[in-house]
Chains A and B, each alone.
Chain A
Amino acid sequence: MPTLEKNKEKILGFWRRKKRMPSYGEIAELFGFKSKNAAYKIVRKLVDLGALAKDASGRIVPKSLATLFPVLGVVEAGWPSPAEEELLDTLTLDQFLIGNREATYILKVTGDSMIEAGIMPGDHVLVERGGEAKDGDIVIAEVDGAWTMKYFRKRGKQVMLVAANKKYNPIVPQEELRVAAIVKSSFRKY
């Protein structure tokens, strides 16, 4: 183990035993130094590495004692459980389903044209306005004054709207096709 890692271990040991960070005097004692100045040098190295930090009054606080020392927020009493650590990186369902919040809208599905893509009548879809549709996206388009949901197909310059249901024929727009939004997710509440 490199020396610095060992030093870190020693400080970590102190924290485990006493449930607090050592003072400079205690660090000197811990490493068998006579002067606090030597302790100060070690602390400075660990601060530079980002393992420790100093608070406003110059006292030492744990920052990220790297792999050895998972810190949740600032000083926690007791040993944090791995489960709590995982919580730091969770998303709410909102964050998971919604990308660009300002451009997202809800639609309720009534038809069966996307049934083979798993979108049933009664489902809800979250759609995003303003993006550029790519081949294979499920899109919301305006056809004859109503919204319709279809696969967006693009071969070269040819654009088509294709249903996920054999009952319906593909729609080849006569004029310019206006894609209103792209479907990002769908959900169903029982």
Chain B
Amino acid sequence: MENPPLSIHGFPRAIVHIDGDAFFASCEQARDPALKGRPVITGKERGIVASMSYEAKALGVTRAMRLFEVRKLCPDAVILPSDYETYSLLSKRFFSIVRRYTPDVEEYGIDECFADLTGLRRPLRMNYIEIARRIKEDLDKELGFTFSAGLAPNKVIAKLASKWKKPSGFTAIMARDIHLYLKDLPVEKVWGIGPQTAAYLQKLGAKTALSFARKDEDWVNAHFTKPSYEIWQELNGRSVLPLVTAEKTSYASIQKVKTFTPPSNDRKFVFAQLSKNIENATMKARRYKLAAKGAVVFIKTQDFRSAGMEVRLSRPTAFPNEIISAITPAFNKLFSSKLTYRQTGVVLLDLEEDTVAQLDLFGAAVKAEKMKRLYESVDELRKRYGKHTLYLGSSYYANQFAQHLGERGDIPERKETLFKGETKRRRLGIPVFLGEVR
């Protein structure tokens, strides 16, 4: 046989990967029939494309493209501000519809998930292909836009299957058919193989996914580490990557990044943006009872060049003032008043549980106890009156305006229309169609 199968099995396990087609743009099109069939783009408030409908994709719009380029490319594109409230409500619905069929669901981002269907044939009285197809149909019908699904014996192949045909595709790959799909697939298209690994594989003569899959086990272990070995096993039809179905209760790192418009070269303003990022990141850290031992701060210029620096902290902390004073020297090194900046960000690193208060020589632990009580009150006030009722003086300039001025300061329609009895902070937990019906 010229191209023998990699496995003799059908579905030793049944993993389905489901992906919302152009999720944010589709949410908008499902809400408003006037947008159907038109190029729709979200991300107006960021100045770059966050998501584009298939109509816009066909015209050559790509993710992260700047909006003025989009306008040149397709002048009649509908450009909308992101309505994250509606997107998250629909995302939650997406996962609960999948959970009607199986409890083993891994939420992999806002618009995609893995689900394990193994063993459900008898209780649901359907074969795996029928189950996966039913899930897709429920999603399409109840959410009003399409999803692409891929059924396979493991995560790597399932991910490949859901991409195989898009939009609204359904592809089932049995273990014994995997080789047919890998034959012409460039190895870098495989989920989990990054540009570095791909380049190395190509040097070793494995250009396609199939040629990688056909290498023998010893060869793979001799050249690569565990992650690539696991991918190799999955390409061969085995299932080794488990589904992470637990909801997130802890984080390895916390990141807060914000783009602001118009871009600025004002040191105080850019620092205030960074200070606000740190306040938001530490707020999240305190919510999960975590403290950071290090932080990376970065600033991005108008032409998308970024500069960053890592700072170590003497003691794990979740208080913004401590982190801000630690990163100030780094910021001063990074910032140049000759450049215009459009984005700042912070990543809190090496998070650990915020329980052990280490005593130190300078009595900082006593101070930390006081800070702890202070921030408990701050968090309580914010919970009651809104996130931005109370902020540090260093964030002052970032809190003076909306994040985006001018045309991009658009607010999504849902945020502007309040039903009677709703408030800005509390709205009905049900997505709203366009909102009006004649």
Contact = CB atoms under 8 A, between A and B. Distances in A.
Contact of B142 (A103, A106, A124, A145): A103
Most buried by A among B33, B430, B438: B438
Given A102-B96, A189-B420, A111 B438 contact: yes
Contacts, number: 82
B430 A108 contact: no
Contact of A109 (B96, B141, B417, B437): B437
Interface in A117-175: 124-127, 129-130, 140, 142, 145-149
Nearest to B93: A102
Contact of A107 (B36, B142, B421, B437): B437
B375 interface: no
Given A180-B33, A189-B421, A130 B141 contact: yes
A64 interface: no
B34 interface: yes
B263 interface: no
B437 A125 contact: yes
Interface residues of B, number: 25
Interface string B410-436: 000000010111000000101111111
Contacts of B143: 102-103, 129
B438 A146 contact: yes
A147 B430 contact: no
Interface string B339-358: 00000000000000000000
A111 B437 contact: yes
Nearest to B434: A147
Contact of B438 (A110, A124, A189): A110
B428 A147 contact: no
A170 B138 CA distance: 31
B220 interface: no
Contact of B144 (A108, A113, A148, A180): A180
Interface in B109-144: 138, 141-144
B339 to A, nearest CB: 45
Contacts of A145: 33-34, 36
A104 interface: yes
A140 B433 contact: yes
A55 B169 CA distance: 54
A53 B184 CA distance: 66
B436 A110 contact: yes
A64 B145 CA distance: 49
Given A106-B428, A106-B430, A129 B142 contact: yes
A108 B438 CA distance: 9
B185 interface: no
B97 A147 contact: no
A149 B433 contact: no
Given A102-B97, A102-B142, A130-B141, A107 B438 contact: no
Contacts of B421: 189
Contacts of A189: 419-421
A140 B436 CA distance: 11
B419 A146 contact: no
Given A102-B142, A106-B430, 7 more contacts: A103-B141, A105-B433, A106-B428, A106-B432, A107-B433, A147-B438, A189-B421
23 contacts: A100-B142, A103-B141, A103-B142, A103-B143, A105-B432, A106-B428, A106-B433, A108-B419, A110-B437, A111-B438, A113-B438, A127-B433, A129-B141, A129-B142, A130-B142, A142-B36, A145-B33, A145-B34, A147-B437, A147-B438, A149-B438, A181-B433, A189-B419
Query: Which 9 A-B residue pairings sit nearest by Cβ, starting from the closest?
Result: A130-B141, A111-B438, A103-B142, A145-B34, A142-B33, A130-B142, A102-B93, A147-B437, A110-B436
